[in-house]
Amino acid sequence: MKPAGPAEGGGMRRPIEGREVLRLTGAVAAGTSAELCAVALTATAAWLVARAGQHPPLSALALAIVGVRAFALFRGVLRYAERLVGHDAALRVLAGLRVRVYEALRRSADPAAGAPPRTPRDAEAVQRMVADVESVQDLLLRCLLPASVAWLTGLAAVAVAAVLLPAAGAVLAGGVVLSGVALPALAARAARSDARRAAGARADLAVCALDVRRGAADLAAFGATGRFAARAETAAARLARLERRAGAIEAAVAALGAALQGGTVLAVLWTARRSGADGVLVTVLTLTALAALDAVLPVAEAARRLSEVRPAAHRVLGLLRAGGRPRPHRAFVPAPDPRPSLELRGVRVAYARDGGGSVPALDGVDLRLPAGRKVAVVGASGAGKSTLLGVLTGEVRPEGAVLLGDAPLGAYDPRDVRATVRGLTQDAHVFNASIRANVTLARPGATDAEATDAACRAGLLDWIEALPGGWDTLVGDSRLSGGQRQRLLLARALLADPPVLVLDEPTEGLDLATADRLVTDLLTDRRTVVLVTHRLAPLAAADEIVVLDRGRVVQRGPHRDLAGVPGPYRDLWATESRPGTVPAIPRPRA
Ligand SMILES: Nc1ncnc2c1ncn2[C@@H]1O[C@H](COP(=O)(O)OP(=O)(O)OP(=O)(O)O)[C@@H](O)[C@H]1O
């Protein structure tokens, strides 16, 4: 049994590590100190002006003058320190979070480790998760940090005011609660429903814009550009309306905040005067209240942003919880033989339908693959061919039994399964890297001779050698023709050299002669091969051909038998043998 990787089986850690919590606390401390310096600066300056009006000796003002200078200086320095420490902590949290989220995504997408089959929306979900992680930065820097600083500053200002004049302290406390708690709650509530609607409108606009951009040529050819552009414009107008509304709410919250600040300042002034405090104290308390509310009012903006980023933060946390939950320790059976048999018994796969219910992609499929057997799978589009390969590789978990050697496929370490059954599946990817890196990805230790041999068998070598950059030429999905891409992926699959090779349409995009030569070569290989193909000409070399229709095996046997009996295979064979016809499996009538 192989040792588990560093992240495998790791328990759920806190979303933010202890050291980052310490850094963030430091940022809050620096931010609060900066805001307190600002409040103290206003209060001291107020005292200085009011006291100076009484014409005291200069020495009586000296300390306050020094205080004003010191508070102004420290305010700047501390604000800088807050930005520095806060951003440093947030970026560190983000860096750690990214690694853990990708790890959790990897685990949650590993079907062999218990993940559900992939859905077409998986890529969308991964993209959204990447954006979600970025929004955690906003959560820290624009929500939690400013809100903590504001509340602590408000609390300290209320305490100081209460010491100077308890009644004024009580009034200021009321103003702080209204501006720091009630107003933010209101702002968050208004923003929440707006954010939901705006997110929907933004997604609609993105889909429309993507359709117009990607399908520009088709739309122009069919004269439908105007209709699709109008759809995009409607979506854009709806988004603009929502954004204008959000702007109006933001302005209303700011106005309400200013009114609360003004009201609190006037109330403190009135209370201080009524309590008989001297003019200097009244001035100090009034301006302290003004500065304290200046510090507290940003909580409303933080709350508004919080309601925008909260769904994203929930999704990240949910993923970390699901992906980081300790997996029960599983004892795997030892790796299979170097040339194992593979068998499906009564295999059934049903995919969930969007509107509810499920649709069977495979229904009671049996398949025996003793070591070295060559099987071709044919059938109409949607018949279940790719799903069948997914079951063999462990990507799709079916009902029924899948035996690798003597043990169920699920009893093996997923890494052993991957090393034993693999090949070319429909979602294989060409990376933006050199041809060499793309081909040897399957076996990083492969020698040049082995890579050359795989490329030669895949019919790729002549093309590589004709390139000025040869094996070091940079490629990527968008820089290759369909045939080049397929051959490159096939070379990678051949170099992997697994005991059971599964190939989904390996000859797609190749000319017929090359495709037939390639399939014949694959079907005379020493290993087990399961091949999905639409081209029947070279299938005489296969031990068995399995014809699928709507998830069921409707015919099976060698080419010479199937081609001689009435049925979908003979129909297809007749069509393919007729010159100038496009092969296609006809569906038997239901
Ligand atoms: N992830 C999925 N979610 C929902 N339905 C799916 C999913 N994958 C496949 N299906 C459905 O299962 C059925 C079998 O699909 P599968 O891809 O196995 O067919 P196929 O024979 O390989 O088709 P093709 O030749 O077009 O690739 C189809 O009806 C398809 O729509």
- Encode pLDDT of 516-534 as tens digits: 888 888 888 889 999 999 8
Q: How far is the CA of 333 from the centre of ligand 1 (A)?
A: 31
Residue range 537-580, pLDDT digits in tens: 889 889 999 999 999 999 999 999 998 899 889 988 888 776 55
From ligand 1's centre to the CA of 558, what distance in Å?
A: 25
Separation CA 503–CA 490 (nearest Å): 8
The predicted-structure confidence for 287-300, as pLDDT tens digits, reads as follows 999 999 999 999 99
pLDDT computed for residue 589 by the predictor: 40
Residue nearest to atom 25 of ligand 1 (CA): 381
- CA–centroid distance, residue 356 to ligand 1 (Å): 17
Phi first, then psi, for residue 446 (nearest 5°) are -65, 145
Tokens of 15: 């979303």
Architecture category of domain 18-110+117-324 in CATH:
Up-down Bundle (1.20)
Give the distance (Å) from ligand 1 centre to CA of residue 384.
6
Q: Identify which has the larger pLDDT, 262 or 130.
A: 262
Q: What stretch of H or E contains 546? A: strand 544-549
Residue whose CA lies nearest to ligand 1 atom number 26: 381
- In 394-447, which ranges are continuous DSSP H helix? 414-420, 435-440
Residue nearest to atom 2 of ligand 1 (CA): 119
CB-CB contact of 112 with 394 (8 Å) = yes
Atom of ligand 1 nearest to the CA of 389: 18
User: Which atom of ligand 1 sits closest to the CA of residue 534?
Assistant: 25
Pocket of ligand 1 (CB under 6 A): 117-119, 351, 359, 361, 379, 381-387
pLDDT above 90 coverage of the chain, percent? 48
Ligand 1 atom 1 nearest Cα:
119
Work out whether the CA dihedral 493, 497, 503, 508 comes out positive or negative.
positive
User: Could you report the per-residue pLDDT of 434-478, keeping only the tens digit for each?
Assistant: 999 999 988 888 899 999 999 998 888 999 999 999 999 988 766
Distance 505 CA to ligand 1 centre (A): 14
Residue 232 pLDDT greater than 60, yes or no: yes
pLDDT tens digits along 241-285: 988 988 898 899 999 999 999 999 999 999 999 998 899 999 999
To test ligand 1's pocket by mutation, which of 385, 393, 396, 502 has the most ligand atoms within 8 angstroms of CB? 385
Phi/psi at 105 (nearest 5 deg)?
-65, -45
Q: What angle do CA 386, 392, 396 make, to 5 degrees?
A: 65
Q: What phi-psi label fits residue 364: left (phi over 0), alpha (psi between -120 and 50 degrees) or beta?
A: left
* 101 burial type by CB count under 10 A (0-12 exposed, 13-18 middle, 19+ buried): buried
Look at residue 586 and tell me whether its pLDDT is greater than 60.
Answer: no
CA of 359 to the centre of ligand 1 (A): 10
**Gap from CA of 427 to ligand 1 centroid (Å):** 12
**Which letter does DSSP use for residue 3 in this model?**
P
Strand partners for 549: 552
Averaged pLDDT score across all residues of the chain = 86
- Separation between Cα atoms, residue 8 and residue 465, nearest integer Å: 42
pLDDT of residue 125: 63
What distance in Å separates the CA atoms of residue 187 and residue 100, rounded to the nearest whole number?
A: 33
Best residue for ligand 1 mutational test, from 386, 389, 548 (most atoms within 8 Å of Cβ): 386
Ligand 1 pocket, mutate which of 119, 348, 351, 553 (most atoms under 8 A from CB): 351
The pLDDT > 70 percentage for the chain reads 90
Q: Which of 54-58, 133-137, 407-411, 490-494 has the lowest mean pLDDT?
A: 133-137
Beta-carbon contacts of 299 under 8 Å, excluding residues fewer than 6 positions away, are: 146, 147, 150, 151, 179, 180, 181, 183, 184
More confident residue, 485 or 156: 156
Question: Does 353 have pLDDT greater than 80?
Answer: no
Contact between 242 and 194 under an 8 Å Cβ cutoff? The reply is yes
* Residues whose CB is less than 8 angstroms from the CB of residue 584 and which lie 6 or more positions away in sequence, other chains included: 380, 534, 572, 575
Which residues make beta-bridge pairs with 555?
547
Domain regions of the chain by residue span = 18-110+117-324, 342-577
User: How many residues are there in the chain?
Assistant: 590
Query: What's the gap in Å between 80 CA and the centre of ligand 1?
Result: 57
Residue 478's pLDDT is what?
Answer: 67
Tokens found for residue 205: 């606009």
Number of CB atoms found within 10 A of residue 589's CB:
4
User: Residue 161 pLDDT > 70, yes or no?
Assistant: yes
**Comparing 120-134, 164-178, 184-198, which segment has the lowest mean pLDDT?**
120-134
Backbone angles phi, psi at 447, to 5 degrees: -80, 165
Quote the CA–CA distance of 582 and 590 in Å, as a whole number. Answer: 23
Using CA atoms, how far apart are residues 235 and 164, in angstroms rounded to an integer? 57
In terms of Cβ atoms closer than 10 Å to its own Cβ (0-12, 13-18, 19+), residue 203 is: middle
Q: Which residues contact 564 (CB under 8 A, 6 or more apart)?
A: 570
Compute, in angstroms, the gap from residue 361 CA to the centroid of ligand 1.
6
Q: Whose CA is nearest to atom 31 of ligand 1?
A: 382
| The amino acid at 343 | E
pLDDT in tens, 18-48: 888 899 999 999 999 999 999 999 999 999 9
| pLDDT over 90 at 200, yes or no | no
CATH code: domain 342-577 is: 3.40.50.300
**Index of the ligand 1 atom closest to the CA of residue 349:** 12
The pLDDT score that the predictor gives to residue 368 is 93
Beta pairing partners, 475? 433
How is residue 452 written in tokens?
């050359």
**Residue 396 phi, psi (nearest 5):** -115, 125
Give me the half-sphere count of Cα atoms (radius 13 Å) on the Cβ side of residue 158: 18
CA distance 46 to 352: 70
Distance between Cα 379 and ligand 1 center (Å): 12
Q: From the CA of 386, how far away is ligand 1's center (Å)?
A: 7
At residue 308 the predicted structure's pLDDT band, cuts being 50, 70 and 90, is: confident
Distance CA 519, CA 145 (A): 63
Burial environment of residue 410 by CB neighbours within 10 A (0 to 12, 13 to 18, 19 or more): middle
3-state secondary structure of 548: strand
Ligand 1 pocket: which of 121, 378, 387 to mutate (most atoms <8 Å of CB)?
387
* 3-class secondary structure per residue, 353-376: CCCCCEEEEEEEEEEEECCCCEEE
In the chain, the amino acid numbered 396 is V
Ligand 1 atom showing the smallest separation from residue 551 Cα: 14
Q: Residue 346, SS3?
A: strand
Report pLDDT for 587: 46
User: In this structure, which residue's CA is closest to atom 4 in ligand 1?
Assistant: 351
Place of tokens 């799903």: 387
Q: How far is CA 80 from CA 33, 94, 564, in A?
A: 11, 21, 84
User: If you measure from the C-alpha of residue 550 to the centroid of ligand 1, how many angstroms do you get, rounded to a whole number?
Assistant: 10
